[in-house]
Structures are given as structure tokens and as C-alpha cells.
Structure 1
Amino acid sequence: MNKGLSRRNLFKYMGAGGAATVAAACDQKPEKLIPMLVPPTNFEYTPHTAYQYMSTCTECEAGCGMMVTVRENRAQKAEGNPLHPINQGALCARGQASMQTLYNPNRTAKPSLNGKTISWEEGQKLFNEKLQDASGKVVYLGKPLSGSDKAFFEEWFKAIGGGKRVAFQLLDQQSQRNANSMCFGQDDVAELAFEKAKVIYNFGADFLETWGNPVENARRFSQSNAYDGTTKTEMVHLSAHVSLTGAKADRWVVINPGSEAMVALSIASVIRDQKGGYDFLSGMLAAYAPEKVAEATGVPAEKMKELAQKFIEHSPGLALGGGPSSRNSNLTSLHAAINILNAVAGNLGKTVLFHNHPAPENTSHQNLAQLIKDLKAGKVELLIVDDSDPLHALPNSTGIKEALKNTFSVSLA
């Protein structure tokens, strides 16, 4: 006999239905097991297995070796290549964070025009029209290139009827190359053997932070700072302020801001007088005798003579400099002064080494200043900005904001 729905059965069915609803909500959405639909055929591929590919980091011009872990054709982690001669397995924070260029949620998925999203077809059509209308008045602003990349742009400019590249690197080493070219005829940056130096004179360079190749510098500096049972390399920081690198120094010599070059030349004058050689520098160095520059530098003459004597007794030494505190129009002169100090002290070929590397692209700020002038004068019809941000990287005093209003610019990121 059908008695209908009882109170007990009602609660039983309600409980069963609620449990089923909760269980259904806990189920994961179906996903593809293997995102890579077409697996590679040039090697024995195993799904769900991570593979490592060797590459080169391009976050700065140091060019550290990189080892990228890839799974299902997706890069997951970047580490230093332990077999690379520069970084030997280490990788700085910028290299580690390079994965964000692939997966940052703020990346632009589609082209935009004046802040409004447009289709790829519209973007390509507009770019081609501007490229044709430019009639060769095209400037490509981006990071320094070499090899096949540089050759590609040379051929591309020929194909479009003209144009030029302007290399832009915010933390560049162009002033060092200019000084080395003037002093030694080497348009290159010297290799600094920290581990071979018995004393290091640092004129404000943040070589453990952003100066040069901080990964290689830190590795070699740690070797020089290790106690070998007989002696330990002493580091003297000569600057108006203490940076993170300066905090690692054994001694801080406070000097007046902007007087780094005078201090370097004053120490060099004392060393040359004692050791001899480099007679063609005698007249110039005589003007920087410790007694003559003590007031301007804020360093007593006796202290500079003491520093010179230490540099002689603890040979080979190493002098370097050119940090943020000295990034001004006299930066090339500072590097030239440091070159003279290393030369008269006998450090060339011992702790300061030059190699016959091909000269990289010139990243002089003079080229950038000329580009800004050309933009203001209307000489550039199309500006292509690749992996750079001159608007926020350069100070307002350069006039970059007003200059960009005079041309059609395309940003590639």
C-alpha cells in the first residue's frame, strides 16, 4: 500500500541530494593532460617529463648562461648554467624573474591604438601603412644587438628603403668602452680578476649590485675575500656615500662628491714617482700631487700617500669605479683616471685583462640625445621601440615626452 512520502524519507532524500550537490561542486574541471598537441620528433619525448634547454640571459648586457626547465613546451624555471664561464651556475634576480615576460597577467594580449584594443589585422595594416609613408625615416630603438640579429636589421632597413637603429641600455658601459678606447685602443670592457688582487680600490662602483656583471663580480669577489691561510684581500671604498657594495669594504675613505678622478690620479702620481715609468704622464700627474688636490678632494695628502704605498706593497692590486654617484658628464674621465692608476701600478695583464672581443653596438647617450633632437625637428616619421621604455627611463629634462608627440611610435613588448 502506498503511504506517500513520509517525514523520514523526506529528510533522507534531502540529505542525499545535498551530499551529491557538494560532491559535484568538488569535482575539477576537465583539463588537457598534455597541452602540447604535437610532441617533438627530434628526440625521444616523454609526457610529463621536464627537459632543460641551455640559453643566454638577455635581461642585461652581461650575457650570463641560462638553463631553462621546460615541461610540455612551457618554460617553468630559469637557473644559471653551471658550465657557463661567466656565471658558473649563478643567476641574479633579474634573470630569475625573466619568466614573468612569458606569464605576467598584465601582458598585452592584443594590439592597442591610443589605449583602445584593436584587432591584429587592423594593427598590421596600420603599421604597414605607416612604414610605407615613412619613406625611410624610420628609427628602431632597442637593446644592443650583435651577430645575426644585427645583420637581420641591416637587411630589413635595406628592404624598407632606409632607417637606422639606436641602441639603448639604461645601465650601459659605454663610458668604460670610450675610456678604454682612448687609453688602450680597446673598444671593449676589461675583465676584472678580483680573485687575483691583493688590494681593491673601489671608486664608488656598485659591482655587487648593478655595475657590470654583478653575478660574475660577486663570484670572483668572494674568491678574493676568502682567507687562504696567508693573507686576505683588502677592499677600500673611496666614495662620498656607502652603498650595499661599499658596506662589504674593509675600509671607507670619505671623499668629496665628484672628486673620484682626482683621488685616483693623485694616488697614481705618487706611485709613478716611486716606481718610475710612463714618463709621458709625469707632467699631467704632477698637477694632481696629493698636496695640490687635498682640499678639493677632502682627503689629506698623507692619507693619499698611504693609499699609494699600500697599492705598491700589495701588488697586484685592482682599481675600479663609476657607480651611480659618479654618473655625470665626467664619467669617461673617471674611467680614464682609473685606467692610468691601474697602468702605473702594474695591474694591466694581471688583474685588468683585455680580450679581442668584437665591439658591441654603441649605446652612447649622445646618440639618444641626437634622436630626441631629430624627433623634435620632425625628422623621424616612425619610431619603433623594442623592449625599452625611454619615457620612464629618462629624466624629464631630456625632453623625451615632448619629442614623442611629434612622431608615430610603435612599442613592441
Structure 2
Amino acid sequence: MDRRKFLKYGGATIAGLTLGNYFGDKLFAKHINKNGWEGPYGEEKYEITFCTQCPAGCGMNVKVSDGFPTTATGNSSCPIAQGKLCPKGVAAPYLMYDPDRWVAPVIRENPFSSPWQKVSWEKALATFADALKKLQDSGREKKLMWLMSDEHSSFTLLVRKFMRAFGSPNLFTIKNDRDPAAKKSNALMFNASTYPIYDIENASLILSFGTPFLENWGSPTFQHRAYSRLRDPSSGLRGQFIHVEPRFSPTAIKADIWLANKPGTEGYVALGIAYVLVKERMYNSKFISKHCRDFGDFRDLILKNVSPQKIEEISGIPYVQIRKVAHMFARAKNPLAIAERRPFSNGLFASCASLSLNLLVGSVNQKGGLLTDNQTLLREFWEDELLATQEHTSLEDNLTSLDDLAEVIASNPEKRPAVVVISDSRCLSGIHGKSSFLKAIREVPLVVSLSPYKDDSSYSANLVLPDHTFLEKWQDRFVFGNTMNNAYTCSKPLAKPLLNTMDKADTIIRVASLLGGRIQKTMQQKNHQDAIRSTAKRFFDSGRASSGKIFGEKNLPDNFEDFFLTLVKNGGWYEQSSARPTPRANVNQLYSFATGELFSKELWKGPQKADEQKGYPYTLYPFDVLSLSSIGNQNQPLLQEIVTQLVDGAWTVWCEINPKTAEKERLRNGESAILESPLGKLEVKVCHYEGIPEDAIGLFIGNESLDGGRWARKGAIAPADLLPFKSDEGEKYPLSIVTKVKLTKIG
């Protein structure tokens, strides 16, 4: 690039600190016209990698033209993608050309009053290492805190090794991809230590309790393909789909029957269906007698405590509809009930009630049903790796959210960290308490971001050590999803680094070298590639690799060198989850939680609600969308453009309101308004939508940024921060509860 072009495109950046539009414009011009303004294409080839936009880890074939990645399609050999990608995967290559990528390390004295300045990598790494050295010299190692997303990778193992060697227990891994209630209920009922797996593609009837399985849940690519097989009439019988949810969502639109319940009452609908199955003796008595104990107690509790009138009153669904669905579910060849969604109060109750339906009809560890245990050899290997790098604890044992963490930091100077490292911005995406946490760490002397982009991780940062994008570096991932296959994906760089960035794994290794001593000895790997190779070798040497196959290969290589070369070339290794004999579930124990003492005292009152306050007439209904949820960087124009097909909410933070409610509030479609809960206010775009109840306001959680790029929606508060979070008794994770809001016209 000559100086004239650099100045032209650099004028739109932050004083030349971010990339600008030059490379993006160049690529788009070539893609549209092969004899574009910079000349024709040179060499074109396809390389294999995997997508990191969400935890699903879909395999990708990326077209590389003149050394620049341009487009992506699904890797047909990958058992997760099977040749297809969701919109996030299609958009992934353009992350490399994000105009708001940092071009080099940057530093500033004060996050809110000083400008960013470019520095050399030597000075940036020395600044980080010196701050850590001061903590070591003063015996304050516990003043180091590290935040990262729940990424099952060699990078995670490096961070854990570093924190253990440094002497700080304060490593926080933010888990925001699946509903923890599903894992807990699976443990309660089946004594399983993992999330359950749902054999959607072989089911004949799916009964979903608010699970957005055609939106942002699990692997969207896998779920859509499984759904298409469910609906394929060539199998002899077109499968049926029933969905329970207050909102007429993209998933509900596809359903044969949509039951619009009151928010937070999905568990009671499931309980009503269980009541019908028990009362009318439509359960699988042979299966229950073989696999369940204390069923008689469960049956008596259901018949004594549940009534059609109560279920109808709480859920808002006529009992005649509940009974109809119960009959359809009982008569289906391979019925399957699912209840995973955004963590919600009483979600454990809803998940337990849903699992009980699978148990009642015998659809457990059967084809087309619920597979209770995903404890495979690959997962065992990963858990061994975690044990080898030692578990870490929190600042406080009772911390449940970033909000709690922010309160500890703000209120207790003795526990306030001196150095905070944020690995990526995905650990902050759609998370309650993000705003308060980022504001709380303003008083921390050094906050370090390792993100490649100008995003929330740099909002309170003094120092940015920008990572490569995933196409420019080595990477691996252990994938344990809700699909039928677990996988170990691995790939090499597809392009040379475009900017003066550094693989964040290499950054850690370099800092460890500067610190010397025990830490340097612990971090024995030369670089990220070496760390990945070491992980793969331990996996191969453990003998567990023999339980699966490398993508696209029939036979597994018999030596490690060939195994690793083929693993990287083909993009990964996979094993198929196999069902084991159904354990004897303690139904009485489960429903002593769901229908016993708590049933009569607390649960029968309905879902947990925020304290009632006057002037808040509507129930807030939060939801996710496929294109922007669970990703770290919202600064993606393609995904912003297609964020919703139900309303005109592209490029905004929007709320959905029933047209009848909008008429009463005198709110026109498309105008701005203030959405307010007792916790805060948020400016939103009003979108009329008949698929939202008249007494509710729908709000998309995820498209928010305090310090994002030019296409990200920025605001002083994130939508998730309007939701009060509480923990159900005995639980550690935060749950959104039924919240009242009001909507006020601006002007």
C-alpha cells in the first residue's frame, strides 16, 4: 500500500491504530470483479479450518486468493458441519478485515481520559511482565485476575498452567453457551456428569419447552440439518414438532403446534402433560418397571398435587390443548422432550419435568430419544487435562455472576485485583453484570485485553496485546456439544498475519519467559503450535484416539507423526457418542424437588419474580438470535443486516411490542423509546410484532457493546443488565427472573 492510499483509508481509523477499510475494500472489489481495481486474482486454493464464532466448532473450507481468505463453506467431512455453515460461519473470514482491528499493541495511561498510543511488542510485553513481577516481589500473586470464555483448548490449558505457576487462584471461565439446569437435572435423574444429548434427527415427535433449537442453541448447523431429516417424508412418516414458548419465535414458526404460555411457566406445562400420562395410564409401564424405582410415590404426588385447573391458571394454556399434546406424545414412535434455554428461574424444575416425560414414555437411551451420558473417552481425556493443570477457585465461594464479582471489586479494596487480563470479548457477550464489572475495574492499575478488536474487553483496558484472528494462527478445540458426535478440531494458519499482532498463546509464553524462574519452567512450550502438538500427542499416547476417526479417513494412522499431520490436514478427529444402559433413575428424589415440599411451598406459586413496583406494567421476555448471540465481536455488517427476519430490527437494539399494546402506548413502528426496568434504562427501537403477548415486551439480548467498532451498537448499559438475576436455592449460577418493565416514548 502506498502512502497516499494509507492516508486515505487510515483517516477513518483511530489515529491509525485500527485497520480501516483498505483491505476490506480491496477484497470485495476482487471478489466482485476478478479484474478489479488492483488487478486480477493470482493463486486460488481451499484450506481447511474450523469456525470459532460460537462453541459448536463447525469445520470449514476457506477459499484463499493471493494469500487472503475470502469465502467459507462447510467441511463435508466434519460430522458437525457436514458441508454446511450457519450465517456466523459464512461471515467468519471477514473478521480478518474488520476495520476496527488493532494494528499493533496500544497503551494508555488512563482508560477514560488518555488517548491510545502504539507501542512496540517489546515495550508492551515488558509493561505486562513488569506489573506481574511487582506482584511477585511483594507477595501479592493473588492480585492477578484472569477472565476467559469456557474454551476447551490448548490455550485454556496454557492459561491454567500460567495461573497455577504464578500463584493466583483467580481464573474465571465464563460459561455462556448452554443451560446449566439441563446438566443438573441430568445428574439428579440419571446420575450423569454431563449434559444430555438429544437424538433430534431420529425422533418422530419433538416436544420443545422454550428451547430455541432452530435459533441459537448448540450447533445451529447440526440442529437445522437434524430438523430437515425429522421433516423428510421419504423416511415414511413426516415427524411432528410441538413448541411451548410465549413468543412466536423462528422456532415456534416451524412448529405444527405452538402453545403460547405465560413467561417462565414451561415447567408447569410439562407437569400438566405428565399428569395426563399418569392419570390416563399412558406411560410405558414395562420401561418404568425395569428402569425406575419409587414410581408409585411419584404417581401419587402427581395425582394429589396437580389439577387441570391449576396448570391452566398458571401456564395460561387451556387444559384441552395440554391433553391433546400429551396424547400425541404418548402415541409417537420416538418422542423426545427438550427443555434447554437461556438460564431462567425454575429452569431446573422445567428441565426435570421435561426429562420425566422422556422417562414416562421410555424414550431414554433409545433411538430418537434422550441420551443421558456423554462421558466418552474424549471427554475423559479433557477432564484429565484439567485435573493436571489444577482447578481454580474464585475470589468468593458464593460468586454467581459478573455483577457479584463487580461488587467484590468495588466494595472491598483488599480483594481488588492489581492486574486484570481479559482473554476475549465472548466471555462478556450477553452476560448479566458486564457493564457494572467493566466500570468496577476502572480502579485497577492495569487491565490487559488480548482481543484483536476494539470491543468491550478494551473498554476499561490500559494495554491491548492484540491476538491474531483465527485464520492467522494455530488453534484447536475439544467440542462437546448436544450433537451425536464429540470432536477434537485442529488447524494451522491459513494466511500470514495481516497486522503487527501476536497469537495470544505466544503472548503468554513470551511473558512467562520474561518472568523467568518457576513460571518459565512450567511453560515449556515454544509457541502455540508446540502447545497444540503436545496436547495432540498426549491424546494419541493415551490410546483414546483409537475410539474414533480423523475427518474423511477410514483408518487411523498407527504413529503420532502421521496422526498429527492428517489431523491438521483434515481439520479434526471425532468419536460417536454411544448410549449405555439406562440407569435406575430415582424419580422420587427428582420429584421431591419438583413436586414434594418445594411444590407446595414455593414452586406452586409460579416462577420467581422481581419485587413488584408500580408503573411497570409489562413482563420482559428476553431472547437470543442466531446471527449475533454467543459471539464476541458484534462489529460484523453481514450479521447485523440479517439479525432478524421477524421485524425491522437490523443494526439496532430493538424491542418487540404487540400492535395492540403499541396503540395503547401510542408508539409507532420504528420509532425510538426508553425501555426501563427497576435496574436501568435502555434506548431501543420499537418494532410492532403480533407474535409477542399483549402484556409482554420482547428484548433481544446480545447486540450491545460499551466500546465496540463502527457497526456495533454502543450504549451505557447492556440489555442483559435490565434483568435482575437471582439464584435458586442451592444453585450457584445466575438466573433471569420474571421482570416488569415500562416503555416510554422519546420526546
Alpha-carbon contact 1:267-1:290 (below 8 Å) kept: no
Match of 1:332 among 348, 353, 357: 348
State the superposition RMSD in angstroms: 3.0
Distance in 1 (CA, whole Å) between partners of 2:443 and 2:346 is 31
Distance in 2 (CA, whole Å) between partners of 1:169 and 1:307 is 34
Residues 1:399 and 2:416 are matched in the alignment: no
- Seen in structure 2, the aligned counterparts of structure 1 residues 158 and 252 have a Cα distance that, compared at 3 Å, is closer
Alpha-carbon contact 2:149-2:427 (below 8 Å) kept: no
* Correspondence for 1:383: 420
Query: Normalising by structure 1, what TM-score?
Result: 0.79
Which amino acid is 2:89 matched to?
A: G
Any idea what SS the aligned residue of 1:393 has?
A: coil
- Seen in structure 2, the aligned counterparts of structure 1 residues 89 and 189 have a Cα distance that, compared at 3 Å, is farther
CA apart distance, 1:348: 1.1
Distance in 1 (CA, whole Å) between partners of 2:235 and 2:374 is 32
Alpha-carbon contact 2:423-2:450 (below 8 Å) kept: yes
Distance in 2 (CA, whole Å) between partners of 1:95 and 1:196 is 26
* Correspondence for 1:24: none
Residues 1:299 and 2:317 are matched in the alignment: yes
After the TM superposition, which residues 320-359 of structure 1 pair with which residues of structure 2 at under 5 Å, given as runs?
320-324=338-342, 327-350=343-366, 351-353=369-371, 354-357=373-376, 358=379
* Correspondence for 2:448: 410
Alpha-carbon contact 1:141-1:385 (below 8 Å) kept: yes
CA apart distance, 1:370: 4.6
Distance in 2 (CA, whole Å) between partners of 1:49 and 1:394 is 40
- Seen in structure 2, the aligned counterparts of structure 1 residues 213 and 290 have a Cα distance that, compared at 3 Å, is farther
List gaps (5 residues or longer) in structure 1: 1-27, 35-46
CA apart distance, 1:244: 0.7
Distance in 2 (CA, whole Å) between partners of 1:393 and 1:128 is 31
**Which stretch shifts more, 265-274 or 282-291?**
282-291
Which amino acid is 1:132 matched to?
A: K
Distance in 1 (CA, whole Å) between partners of 2:341 and 2:271 is 18
- Seen in structure 2, the aligned counterparts of structure 1 residues 307 and 213 have a Cα distance that, compared at 3 Å, is same
Query: Normalising by structure 2, what TM-score?
Result: 0.46
Identity %: 24
* Correspondence for 2:213: 207
**Which stretch shifts more, 336-345 or 280-289?**
280-289
- Seen in structure 2, the aligned counterparts of structure 1 residues 394 and 248 have a Cα distance that, compared at 3 Å, is same
CA apart distance, 1:248: 0.7
Distance in 1 (CA, whole Å) between partners of 2:264 and 2:247 is 11
Any idea what SS the aligned residue of 2:142 has?
A: coil
Match of 1:50 among 45, 49, 59: 45
Alpha-carbon contact 1:57-1:66 (below 8 Å) kept: yes
Match of 1:254 among 245, 260, 263: 260
CA apart distance, 1:30: 9.4
After the TM superposition, which residues 56-71 of structure 1 pair with which residues of structure 2 at under 5 Å, given as runs?
56-71=50-65
Distance in 2 (CA, whole Å) between partners of 1:240 and 1:173 is 18
Any idea what SS the aligned residue of 2:189 has?
A: helix
- Seen in structure 2, the aligned counterparts of structure 1 residues 149 and 285 have a Cα distance that, compared at 3 Å, is farther
Any idea what SS the aligned residue of 1:146 has?
A: coil
Alpha-carbon contact 1:56-1:65 (below 8 Å) kept: yes
After the TM superposition, which residues 14-413 of structure 1 pair with which residues of structure 2 at under 5 Å, given as runs?
48-53=43-48, 55-110=49-104, 111-113=106-108, 114=111, 115-120=115-120, 121-134=122-135, 135-228=141-234, 230-273=236-279, 274=281, 275=283, 276=285, 277=288, 278=292, 279=295, 280-286=297-303, 287-324=305-342, 327-350=343-366, 351-353=369-371, 354-357=373-376, 358=379, 366=400, 368-376=402-410, 377-378=412-413, 379=415, 380-388=417-425, 393-395=430-432, 399-407=436-444, 408-413=446-451
Any idea what SS the aligned residue of 1:257 has?
A: coil
- Seen in structure 2, the aligned counterparts of structure 1 residues 341 and 372 have a Cα distance that, compared at 3 Å, is farther
CA apart distance, 1:228: 2.9
Distance in 2 (CA, whole Å) between partners of 1:382 and 1:181 is 37
Which amino acid is 2:130 matched to?
A: E
Which amino acid is 1:303 matched to?
A: Q
Distance in 1 (CA, whole Å) between partners of 2:399 and 2:142 is 23
Deviation per CA, 1:223-243: give whole Å up to 9, x if none: 101113742111112121110
Which amino acid is 1:264 matched to?
A: A
- Seen in structure 2, the aligned counterparts of structure 1 residues 145 and 261 have a Cα distance that, compared at 3 Å, is same
Any idea what SS the aligned residue of 2:159 has?
A: helix
Alpha-carbon contact 2:178-2:341 (below 8 Å) kept: no
Alpha-carbon contact 1:270-1:289 (below 8 Å) kept: no
Which amino acid is 1:387 matched to?
A: D
CA apart distance, 1:165: 2.4
CA apart distance, 1:133: 3.2
CA apart distance, 1:148: 2.9
Larger radius of gyration: 1
Which amino acid is 2:52 matched to?
A: T
* Correspondence for 2:473: none
- Seen in structure 2, the aligned counterparts of structure 1 residues 203 and 130 have a Cα distance that, compared at 3 Å, is same
Distance in 2 (CA, whole Å) between partners of 1:149 and 1:333 is 36
Distance in 1 (CA, whole Å) between partners of 2:235 and 2:375 is 36
Alpha-carbon contact 1:290-1:304 (below 8 Å) kept: no
- Seen in structure 2, the aligned counterparts of structure 1 residues 349 and 395 have a Cα distance that, compared at 3 Å, is closer
Deviation per CA, 1:219-267: give whole Å up to 9, x if none: 0000101113742111112121110111011111222221100111221
List gaps (5 residues or longer) in structure 2: 1-35, 136-140, 392-397, 452-747
**Which stretch shifts more, 267-276 or 253-262?**
267-276
Any idea what SS the aligned residue of 2:60 has?
A: strand
- Seen in structure 2, the aligned counterparts of structure 1 residues 288 and 399 have a Cα distance that, compared at 3 Å, is farther
